Amino acid sequence: MNHHQLEKDIRHLEHVISHISAEDRIPLSYWRNRIDSVSGAVRVPTQVNRIKRLNAALAALEERQKA
């Protein structure tokens, strides 16, 4: 995955994760898979930190869904 596509994907995930809920029509497992697929291509520290924040935000949603 090239740098520009990776940045685009991370920006999209940041936008979506900040707007979804555990009851959204697209299951959280879909977004977990998207984050996991992007995280494998991350190369620079700023991207690593952004993926960590995305993981944390999605994990919080997943916990709320379990409750």
The answer to whether the beta carbons of residues 47 and 5 sit under 8 Å apart is: no
pTM of the model: 0.91
Confidence label for 47 from pLDDT (cuts 50, 70 and 90): very high
Chain segment 10-44, per-residue pLDDT in tens = 999 999 999 998 888 999 999 999 999 999 999 89
The CA distances from residue 56 to 4, 5, 10, 59, 67, in Å, are 24, 22, 14, 5, 17
How many Å apart are CA 7 and CA 46, to the nearest integer? 11
**Amino acid 48: pLDDT:** 96
